[in-house]
Amino acid sequence: MEHLRAFGEDGQAALAGLVLLLGSADGESLVPPLAADALAGADLLLICKPGGLDTDGLPRLRPIGMPDQLRMLAAAALAVTVRAAAARLLSPLHMGVGFPNPCERVVHEVSAVLAHNPRTAFLQLDIRNAFNLVSRSAAVAFLTRAFPLLWPCLSTVYLGFSPPRVYSWALGAAGAGSGAPGVPLSRRWLAVEQGVQQGDPLDPLLHAAAMHLAVLRVAAADPSAVVRAVHDDFFVFVVLEDLPAILRTAAAAGAAVDAKLAPSKCAGWSLGGAVAPVGWPALWRGDGVRKLSVPLGSEAIMTAAVDDLDADHYRLTEAIVSLPRSELPSQLLLLRLCAGPQPNYCLRALPLTWSARLAASVDRAARGGLRRLLTDARDAPAAVDALLARATLPLA
């Protein structure tokens, strides 16, 4: 979007007027149908998911729809306008919108609940491919009732006469689009029949709204349960005997908004070491679980997880320090921008005892790397200590 800043004063004013038009009710009548149809489209970007191939032997892909920049400006303006009100509407059950560091908040709340009542059973729920399959009609209906100013934009993009679409390039059999030098690829478009476009600034809000309908239903089914969610990651705390009923309710609530549970990612666990309820259909973890990429469980599980995090950070630091000495500026930038932030999420999210242990290891690796890069045996110890003190890497 940098080229948009090159407009003069009149151009900036015209751009602001166009953004206001696209986000207002007048846009439905004043924007030509062909232009509206183009604004509802997005370029398709496919990103390979980590974890290797899928069960069919093909790469696991995440489709990202990158909308037109004018539509992104209008959607971003609307998202910022309603963000604080949306956070109040969805919280405390859902923290996917408007909360800084929502994952860390939920992780610490999970730990607090289990510490307060160790006999509580924990259920971790995950939705399969939720962003691309969730019911956008349910999300739009929920949001536009709460925030009517979103209706013109959402109705035009997601509920128009033709479905939103993504554009891609494909190789043909011969001729145009065959991939021959100098021959352009043929452009194709695909209708988006379900879900939301992950490049749309309103996408997190749309997805959270649809998921919130499922979260509300799960919470209402058992008032004694503690339910929290960050987008398609659900966490439920309830007595062990009620876990099967909660799992069935979650499956039905998800299906109502076209969201299906991912059995391979749904798991139960009891801090007290209880066995799974009779007929339990999902996974059952004996020693602990990993929630939002953070481990929770027995001392053995936590020790192994923190040791792995420590080893990963140490390997990254060593790889940076081992680069040729001619790359010193790049090495310092990599330490600051890669090795430094890598463990920050876990340092903020782990229980204090374990985050302190990880922080000590990270500090040792960082100090050792800087000492090897910037000092040698000729430097006085006091000067080395002063250098390392000045180069302390912040957590954020």
CA dihedral sign, ordered 147, 70, 202, 100: negative
How far lies 270's CA from each of 107, 121, 248, 297, in Å?
Answer: 16, 5, 19, 9
* Chain segment 112-162, per-residue pLDDT in tens: 888 888 778 889 988 888 888 889 889 999 999 999 999 888 887 887 655
294-297 vs 288-291, strand pairing mode: antiparallel
Question: pLDDT tens digit string along 82-95?
Answer: 999 999 999 999 99
Report the candidate in 250, 207, 210, 193 with the shortest Cα–Cα distance to residue 227.
Answer: 250
Report helix, strand or coil for 305.
Answer: helix
Query: pLDDT tens-digit profile of 266-321?
Result: 899 988 888 999 889 899 988 888 888 888 888 888 999 999 999 999 999 999 99
User: Which of the four pLDDT bands, split at 50, 70 and 90, describes residue 247?
Assistant: very high
Q: Are strands 233-238 and 59-67 parallel, antiparallel or unpaired?
A: unpaired
- For position 171, what pLDDT does the model report? 55
* Cα–Cα dist 59/52, whole Å: 7
Residue 174 has pLDDT above 60, yes or no: no
Rounded Cα distance, 379 and 396, in Å: 30
The SS3 of residue 301 is helix
Q: Where do we find the tokens 């010193």?
A: 328
- Structure tokens of 291? 């929630």
Q: Cβ(157)–Cβ(40) under 8 Å?
A: yes
Residues 6+ apart with CB under 8 A from 233: 124, 125, 126, 291, 292
